[in-house]
Amino acid sequence: MARLPKHKQRFGARQEPLSDDFRSPGKFFRTTLTAIAKRRLALIGLLALLIRLIYLAELRRTAFFAVVIGDGKEYDRWAQQIASGHWVGSEVFYQSPSYPYFLAIIFAVAGHHLIVVRVVQAILGAVSCVLLGYAAKEFFNRRAGLIAALLLAIYPPAIFFDGLIQKSSLDLLLVTAILAVLAKFQRQHTWKWLAMAGLALGVLIVNRENARVFYPILLAWLLLYFRTEGVRRRLRWAAILTIFTAAVLLPIALRNYYVGREFLISTSQLGPNLYIGNHPGAQGSYEPLVAGHGNAEFERNDAKQLAEQAAGKPLSPSQVSDYWVNRSVDYIRHQPLSWLRLLGRKLLLTFNAKEAVDTESIEAYSEYSIMLRALSWINFGLIFSVAALGAWLTRTLWRRLSLLYAMVFGMALSVSIFYVVARYRYPVVPFVILFAAAAISLVPELPTLPRKQLLAGILVAIGAAILSYLPIKTLGDDTFLNVGEELIRMNRSNEAIALLKKFVNTSPNSADGHYNLGLALRQTRQNDDALNEFATAIRLRANYFEAHVAMALTLEDKGMPFGALDEFQNALRLQPNNGAVRVASADLLWNLGRTSEAISEYQQAARIAPDLFEAHYRLAQAYVRTGQLAEAVDSLQRALTIANAQGRVEDARQVQNAIDACRARMAQAVRTNR
């Protein structure tokens, strides 16, 4: 009988559990190797933790640790609300709840300290390395296990994501846990491994909704791969997976029904997310539904308001989602060729070497981390190219590896159907690392391969590299802009100015960049420079409402009221129903002595913004000063109602005093006339 090549010997035979029986020298040797491998895997886990802690130490005193932006800011706010006692909540989930509840548990135990969260995530990242190493050992061999764990330990995006207030760290832990327990089940058909897989899958689905694609894949694997097992046994396995997955999802669905009468197993975000990635003009990455509203705080309201405006009636969360799904389906049905080109672009983005920027980029963080810069050569393109070689070299094991093929392509397709950003693509990484580790583990055996097979494998790897390194234009990197905006909100303008200047130097045509730099300069009383930045923003975007308002306020600060008034009018031409700006314009008119014009503006503000306290209160003050006391009382009564409804206790007290004073003056006037 012909002898198998070494690489087929290494992967081809079924690996049996090692015995603890030391009487056989062979068994003793194998057991010793296992113990050493386990120690090495643990050491790699410790190395991963050390790398992540060093990275956190590098960023500890930078602006990136001072702020939380994007989805992270919303998760932090939500988690604080949960930890304060609102564990059930009051609305149907719009964003995935796993990560906010994970944060809430940390906050409840350790207080609101984000550094604690980051350290916990560093530990989870190290555990993920060990779990992936174990999965690689079971699917391939011990050497592949050590290599997979090491690759994940030093993979820059993994280090980067573990340091963010984002759910990516939890994604990685859950995906690697699923891989580890499924690898174990493939060797030992014990129901407890399927139960663990079901629980992990349920939590992953509640954290990353497109992970639902894994459920039918795992069902098909259980029913088709293990055909040597009886049908009843396989159906029992499928039932176990289903029951334990449902054990996580069903309480979420019941909770959503309880608070919103909508039976949703996770969130109501599917429709808006589908539309963002599938509409005329879509580029395949994230775009807000409303220009300039790229923040998580706007997403739910924008999706709801736009859908209700189109429908002409109030909509429930699921109806809002259905509206956006229908918009996406209409696009696909009426422009199939355009959609197919878009889908192809998104598939290329999914496997592209570059990390598609969302809110924060690894490139921006690398400027402040020697660790990330030193490891930057290890990118997705390199890992993917080596993984393609590994998939080729292990192709004879396609039956045993069929689960990995299905899961990686299922996840990649589920990302591409929506839109591609780095953190959405991240769950694909563990699968790619598994095959890359298999390829590297076979390096000692490469000389035994037939030349044609080796050449074919090299060509496959080159093809994957060409595919991955294709230059694809994506959205710009707004990290410095996003961090700068948040620093402005925190009144840390000096730090914001440094970052925003960096941003406008690299993105000189960004109106938002110049506008925010102007805001930071205005906060530090550098009004002349601020005016220049606002003017640049308006030149780049003529209908920039916020920039006109900011310029008006800055001109007013500089003692240039007529210029300020012109800018207020420019802003109101763009948004005539903005009550707050009308109040500011009316205040300026009043200060200029143009009383009747000021009162007219106050009246318009009160009419178009009936819930705006300042509009009614300022109008009342104007009436008092012009002796129209009855009208003043009416306006004050409206202001009092608003203040009470909004919980503005001090304002309500002040308004009540003003009402009493007006009534006293009116009574005095009546007595005087008598």
Confidence category of residue 323, pLDDT binned at 50, 70, 90: very high
Q: Mean per-residue pLDDT for 97-120?
A: 94
Residue with tokens 């930057």: 376
Give the model's pLDDT for residue 36: 54
Rounded distance between C-alpha atoms, residue 348 and residue 230, angstroms: 41
In 3-state terms, what secondary structure has residue 95? coil
DSSP 278: S
Q: State the distance between the two ends of the chain, measured CA to CA, in whole angstroms.
A: 126
Give the model's pLDDT for residue 372: 95
Using one digit for the tens of pLDDT, what is the confidence trace for 484-530? Answer: 999 999 999 999 999 999 999 999 999 999 999 999 999 999 999 99
Amino acid present at 33: L
Residue with tokens 């129901």: 191
Domain 478-541: which CATH number of 3.30.70.120, 3.40.50.150, 1.25.40.10, 1.20.120.140: 1.25.40.10
CA torsion 187-191-193-198 (nearest 10°) is 130
Name the least confident of 137-141, 521-525, 664-668.
664-668
Give the model's pLDDT for residue 23: 45
Residue 19, pLDDT above cutoff 50: no
Answer whether 170's CB lies under 8 Å from 99's CB. yes
Q: Mean per-residue pLDDT for 317-342?
A: 93
Q: Mean per-residue pLDDT for 335-353?
A: 94
Name the least confident of 214-228, 262-276, 643-657.
262-276
Using one digit for the tens of pLDDT, what is the confidence trace for 548-591? Answer: 999 999 999 999 999 999 999 999 999 999 999 999 999 999 99
Rounded distance between C-alpha atoms, residue 29 and residue 665, angstroms: 101
Domain map (residue ranges) of the chain? 36-267+356-468, 478-541, 544-609, 621-674
Name the least confident of 82-86, 290-294, 399-403, 450-454.
290-294
Residue with tokens 């990136």: 64
Rounded distance between C-alpha atoms, residue 546 and residue 81, angstroms: 30
Rounded distance between C-alpha atoms, residue 80 and residue 83, angstroms: 5
Query: In the structure encoding, which two tokens stand for residue 447, read together?
Result: 């000389």
Residue with tokens 């499928």: 238
Rounded distance between C-alpha atoms, residue 488 and residue 474, angstroms: 27
Question: 478-541 with 544-609: one CATH topology?
Answer: yes
DSSP 446: G
- Which candidate, 205, 152, 196, places its Cα nearest to that of 177? 196
Rounded distance between C-alpha atoms, residue 310 and residue 303, angstroms: 11
CATH number, domain 544-609: 1.25.40.10
Rounded distance between C-alpha atoms, residue 597 and residue 587, angstroms: 10
Q: Mean per-residue pLDDT for 158-167?
A: 95
Query: In the structure encoding, which two tokens stand for residue 674, read together?
Result: 């008598």
Using one digit for the tens of pLDDT, what is the confidence trace for 414-458? Answer: 999 999 999 999 999 999 999 999 999 998 888 888 888 889 989
Answer whether 538's CB lies under 8 Å from 544's CB. yes
DSSP 61: T
Rounded distance between C-alpha atoms, residue 144 and residue 140, angstroms: 6
Strands (E), 389-437: none
